[in-house]
Each structure stands twice: as structure tokens, then as C-alpha cells.
Structure 1
């Protein structure tokens, strides 16, 4: 079965954006990519780079991890503000929103219904690659129980406060995760991959 993978950049204290939910990767933002960070993405997760970045870097690789990206309205709006109606034209793109209405782009499917039900349908599809949950915190909270793998791009930065990894939709339901891969870049960012332990709870 296809996995739902939450691949997301975060601070050491667990925040993915500033309190105003501004684009954390924009110049002057909370989590601005460094050259070694970008190089690692190109080498390992090229499909997670937005279309314009792929074009600028000459990236043509389809990638080996994902063929579908899902996100919430807040995350999608960051791309819209930058003039991108489909930031990931190389992936099947699903946006969950009850307020967006008609899709601004023929390549983007807007779903007003239950994200959990839709993600379960996507996971049951035969073949294909995994599903990337790009953000944001509210959608990650709603899909908390559906996330099979966490890939945390842990930046050597603290925020003090901000938008947490999981938003208010997440229930208090502790889960255990197994570290399955890790890469620490020279600039200090750590790529940490954790797989959910089925039925697992944190040990005492």
C-alpha cells in the first residue's frame, strides 16, 4: 500500500513557520534553504522542488519517492501569492479546502470533502509511488493517524514560538516511530526519516 509521507522542514523546537504563517523558505524567513540543503534535495527528493526551482536548477528527474502531493489551503496560498497556481506540475496535486471553490489550475484537484477519506483512497491505489504531505500544520493534524512516515528536515534554528508541526486538529494520541534513515549536512540540517511503529506507543 502507498504511504503518506510528511516531509517537512522544522526548527529544533518543532515549528514549521513563524506565527504569521508566512513562507518559511522565503528570503528572511524562518527556514531559508542553504546550498547544501538544496543540493541534497536535488539528489534525493528532486520531486519536492517547486516547478520554477526545478527549471532554474535544470532538474528533470521524476524522483523515486512521490507521484502525488497533498496540501491544505494555507500552504497552497503561499504558492498562489508567488503567482504559482500549480507549484508542482510534475506531480498529481491535491488541495484540501472548503473555501477555495473551483480550482485555479487544471492540474490541481480541489477537494472540499474529508481529507482522511480521500487520503485513504489514494493509499489504496494499486502501484504508483508514495504520497507527499507538504503541509500545513492544520492538515497534518487532521491526517495525524494516516501518516506512515515522517521525514523531518531539522534545521539548526529555534523559533521560540510559531506554527507547530501538527495543528489543533491532532488528537492527543502518542505514537512510536522508528528511525530508519538519517543524513546530517555540513551546514547543520539533519534529514531524519522515521517510520510509524504499527500499533506502537512510546515506551516508558
Structure 2
């Protein structure tokens, strides 16, 4: 059964990025070979991705994807929820959508086949899925840094059940199941 999983990284105080969308605090952290392998395996674990416009814009800008489309990291269909016009990465299977995320969820699940759907970011998008009863799990890697403010991991209450905690220097990784009513 396809599950919808918010797989992300966070500062210790619960932020995905700084207020100006910087990930320098995260990208400066050392990554073990095991965690690097896990991250590289995400493209085979997930059959579809979902992200918000800010996450997509960050990828465009920081990977210079319009000039170097071969750097697009997702070989499977990706949905971008947005209310603005954004350029598509040439050759990538990107589907722009707006409105109720629940309305496109069935398309993502169908595209994922027997794999899971990856909610890449951001927190509000994951929250919208949780509100609709469509988010199954959150997997978050906490980095040993605090930001004080920024883009929140989850900007609303979601009841969760801790399923797994592990340490992979310098990260603490937690897998949490979303409690559904």
C-alpha cells in the first residue's frame, strides 16, 4: 500500500530553512556514508514527489536547473503546488498544481504505483495533507543547530506516535506515524 511520507531535515528548534530560505546551516553538516546512501536511495523508494513553490524555487536557484537540467534529482513524476508561474525543468516530469492538495493526492498515489509518495517540503504542505487525513508518516533528521526563526517544520498541530529514533552523527533521525482520527 502506498504511503505518503514527509521526509525532511530540521534544525533542533523546528525550522526547515532560514527566513530567507537558506539551507547553509544544513548543507554544512557532515553526512555519514550510511546516511548518504539512504538519501541516494530515496529516488528508488519513492514513486512520486510533492513540493511547494518555495522548495521548487530553491532547487531551481541552487542547482541552476534551467541551465543544467540533468541535475534534476527526481526520476519520477513531481508535483509542485504553486499559485505563481514557474518554469519547468527541461525533460523533467513536473506537474504544476494549485488549490486543494487533496485533489491531486490520488494522482500522485496512482503515479507512485507500489512505491510511496515523498513530501519533499514544505511544512505547510505536509500540514495540509495531514489535515485531509492523507499524511501517513514523518521522517525527520534533526541537525545540531538552532535557527531561532525561519520556515517551520510543521506550522500546525499534528498528533504523532514515535516509531523509531536513531543516531547518525551529527543527526538524530526520528520516524513518526501520523495519528488519524
Pick from 151, 168, 181 the counterpart of residue 185 of structure 1: 168
User: Counterparts of 1:42-191 in structure 2 under 5 Å?
Assistant: 42-48=36-42, 63=44, 65-82=45-62, 83-85=64-66, 87-100=72-85, 103-107=88-92, 108-123=94-109, 127-145=113-131, 146-167=134-155, 170=156, 173-175=157-159, 177-187=160-170, 189-191=171-173
Question: TM-score with structure 2 length normalisation?
Answer: 0.81
How many Å separate the matches in 1 of 2:86 and 2:37?
36
How many Å separate the matches in 1 of 2:46 and 2:112?
14
Deviation by residue 1:72-93 (Cα, 9 ceiling, x = unmatched): 1110001111312563232221
Asked if the contact 2:49/2:78 (under 8 Å) is kept, the reply is yes
Q: Give SS of 2:27's match.
A: coil
Question: What CA RMSD, in Å, does the superposition of the two structures yield over aligned residues?
Answer: 2.4
Residues 198 and 124 (structure 1 numbering): CA distance in 2 closer, same or farther, change over 3 Å?
A: farther
Residue 40 of structure 1, CA deviation: 3.0
Deviation by residue 1:46-89 (Cα, 9 ceiling, x = unmatched): 244xxxxxxxxxxxxx53x2121110111000111131256323
How many Å separate the matches in 2 of 1:156 and 1:105?
36
From the two aligned structures, give the one with the greater strand fraction.
2
Deviation by residue 1:66-121 (Cα, 9 ceiling, x = unmatched): 12111011100011113125632322211111212663434211123422211144
| Superposition misfits of 4+ residues, deviation over 6 angstroms | none
Asked if the contact 1:97/1:111 (under 8 Å) is kept, the reply is yes
Deviation by residue 1:14-68 (Cα, 9 ceiling, x = unmatched): 111111122x1xxxx121253434x2333323244xxxxxxxxxxxxx53x2121
Who is 2:176 aligned against?
A: 194
Residue 158 of structure 1, CA deviation: 1.1
Residue 149 of structure 1, CA deviation: 0.4
Question: TM-score with structure 1 length normalisation?
Answer: 0.73
From the two aligned structures, give the one with the greater helix fraction.
2
How many Å separate the matches in 1 of 2:37 and 2:89?
31
Q: Which has the higher contact order (CA 8 A, sep 6+)?
A: 2
* Paired residues, number: 173
How many Å separate the matches in 1 of 2:85 and 2:177?
33
